[in-house]
Amino acid sequence: MQPSDAQPRSDEQLLAALLDGMEAGLCAFDRDGVITHWNAEAARILGWSADDAIGKHGFEGWAARSADAREAERRLLAVMDAPGRQVNEFALLTKDGRRVLVRTQAAAVSSASGEPAGVYCAFSEVHAQIDLERSIALSEALFADATWGVVLIDADLRPAVANDRAAKMLATGRDALLGRPLGDLLSQGAEELESALQHVLAEGAPPGVSDLWVKPRSESGARRCWRSGFVRLGSPLGEEPVPLGVGWLFSDVTRQKTAEQQSAQVRFRYQQLHRADRAAGECEDPLEAVALHMDFALAGFADHALVDALDEAGRPVRVVATPEGEQAAPGPCQPVEGNTIPVGYGAGHPVVQAMERLGTVRTTFTAPGGGEPGPRARIDAWAAARLWPAGTVHGLSVVLRSRARTVGAVTFLRGTGRRPFDPADAAYAEDVAARVATALDLAGLGGPVGDGSRHADDAGDGGGGAGDPTDGGPGFGGYGAGGGDRGDPTDGGPGPGA
C-alpha cells in the first residue's frame, strides 16, 4: 500500500520534470516577491543555479542592478492585479557579471480560493526571441509577398505549402496543388524535379541553383525554364535533424535562357557558314562545293538534305543528297553522278510550292487528332508520298535562285527526335540556299539563262518564309499536314498548306 504522501510527491516530481524540460527560462514568485521556482533553462541563461535563486527576494543584489531590480520587481508583482499575461523586457545580470536583456511573459498565479498567490515568469534572451520572430516573419513574407515561387515539399515529395506566385506558375490554385503528386502538376520535368528533391533530402542542398525545363499541365502547354534553389528543412527539436521536407524556390527564366540558346545557335550557324565558304573556295568541282555546304549546314540542324537542280526542260533532277537509310544514322551529302532522271514530285509537293512561290515552305506530319506522332508505318507512308527518307516528319524546302532565275530547290528533313522547323530555321536555310544556288549556277546546272522563271520581286509573298510561322497560301492535295491527319498521304482533296 502506497504511503499517503505518494501522490503529492509524484506531482512535485512531474512538475520539476516539466519545468526543467522547458525551452524557456522560468521562475516563480510568491505574493511577497520571493522566488519559489527556478528551472534549468533559467540557470543556463543566467548562470545562477536553482540553489542560488530559490528563496531570494527579487533580483536585487545578485541577478540585476539595483535600479533594474526594483523596476523589474514592480512590474512583475503588478501582474497579480492585471488580467492575462504581461510582456516586458528587463536587463538582468549573469553570474559572471554580464548584462543580458531578456523578454518576459508573466501571469498571476491564484490560490484555491481565487486570491492572487504569486507570479510566474517565463523568459528568454531577446536576441534569441528576435531571431525566432525574424524567421517567422521571413517565412510569412516568402509565402505572401515573394516574387519567386515558393513551395514547401514534404518528405513524400508532395506540396505542403505554396505561395500565390508558385500556384500561378504551376497553373493551378494555391490550395488545389497541395498534397498532389508532382506528376499531376507537370507533364514534363517532374522526374528531374523529384530527383533533385530526393538528393536534397538525402544529401542536403546543392551549392548553387539549377535550371529545370518543365511543362506545367496548362492550356498553353509551353515549356518553361525555372531557375530553382533548394533547402533541406529539419526539425530543431531532435538531437539528429529529422528531414521535414524541402523548400523549393524558383523563378521563370525562360526568356533569358531562350535568348542565350538562340544567341549560341546563331553564333554556331554562322560559324558553320563561314567555315563552309572557306572550304568550298578550295573545291574545283562546284558540285563538291554544294555537298560541302550541305554537310556544314546539316550539323545540329537537320538529319537529311536533298538538292534538286532544274534540267533544260525545267524539271527537278536530284544532284546532291544524303544517303538513303535509317533516319537515325544519316551520312554525309554526296553528289549524284550522272543522274538525268527527273524527280517525280506531285503538283502540290513542298519543293514545287517553293519554286512556284519563290520562297520557303515548311511542312510537318501531324497524327490524327493532333497528338503525338503516330505509328511508324503511318509516318513512313507520309514520308514516302513526298519521296523523302523513311522516318521523316518535318520538311523545309527552299527555292534556289541565281541571276534572277530559279535553278532548283534544297530540302532539309528532320526525324521524330527533332522539333519542327521554325522561322529562324527558315532564315538560316535561305542563307545556305543562296550559297548553294551560286555553286549550282557555276556548275552550269539549273536550266538555260532566260528560261522565263519569274523574278522574285514579281512573285509575291510565298507565305511560308522565315518571317511567317505558318505555311500560308492555298492548300494542296496529299502533301500538307492535313494529309497526315487523315492518314491518307495520297488523298487528292484540298488540304491545308504544307
Return the C-alpha cell found at 469: 510561322
DSSP state of 192: H
Return the C-alpha cell found at 101: 536583456
CB atoms near residue 41 (< 10 Å): 19
The answer to whether the CB of 244 falls within 8 A of the CB of 154 is yes
Query: Distance of alpha carbon 338 from its chain centroid, rounded?
Result: 53
Closest CA to 362 of 351, 373, 370: 351
Collapsed DSSP state (helix, strand, coil) of residue 381: helix
Give the Cα separation of 7 and 178 in Å (integer).
48
CATH 3.40.50.300 fits 257-486, yes or no: no
What does the pLDDT read at residue 11? 66
Domain with CATH 3.30.450.20 in the chain: 15-131, 143-252
Give the Cα separation of 204 and 319 in Å (integer).
60
What does the pLDDT read at residue 331? 63
Return the C-alpha cell found at 497: 498548306
Return the C-alpha cell found at 325: 537509310
Give the Cα separation of 290 and 284 in Å (integer).
11
What does the pLDDT read at residue 463? 39
pTM as predicted? 0.59
Give the Cα separation of 48 and 406 in Å (integer).
99
Right CATH for 15-131 from 2.60.200.30, 3.30.830.10, 2.60.120.280, 3.30.450.20: 3.30.450.20
The answer to whether the CB of 118 falls within 8 A of the CB of 106 is no
Amino acid at residue number 152:
L
The answer to whether the CB of 353 falls within 8 A of the CB of 498 is yes
Question: Strands 210-216 and 360-364: what pairing?
Answer: unpaired
CB atoms near residue 420 (< 10 Å): 17
Domain with CATH 3.30.450.40 in the chain: 257-486
What does the pLDDT read at residue 234? 79
Collapsed DSSP state (helix, strand, coil) of residue 80: helix
What does the pLDDT read at residue 242? 67
Number of H helices, E strands in the chain: 14, 17
Give the Cα separation of 340 and 334 in Å (integer).
16
Fold of 143-252: Beta-Lactamase (3.30.450)
What does the pLDDT read at residue 146? 85
- Show pLDDT as tens, one digit a residue, over the chain (498 residues): 344 454 555 666 776 677 776 778 999 999 889 999 899 999 999 999 989 999 999 999 898 998 888 888 889 888 888 888 888 888 999 999 899 989 899 999 888 888 888 998 999 888 877 877 788 888 888 888 788 999 999 989 999 999 999 999 998 988 898 999 999 999 999 999 999 999 999 888 888 899 999 999 876 778 899 999 999 987 765 556 667 899 999 999 999 999 998 899 999 998 999 999 999 888 888 888 999 999 999 998 999 999 999 988 889 999 888 887 544 455 688 888 777 888 989 888 999 999 999 999 999 988 765 555 567 888 889 999 999 998 899 999 999 999 989 999 999 999 888 899 999 999 999 999 999 999 998 888 876 655 444 444 433 333 343 333 334 333 333 344 333 333 333 333 333 333
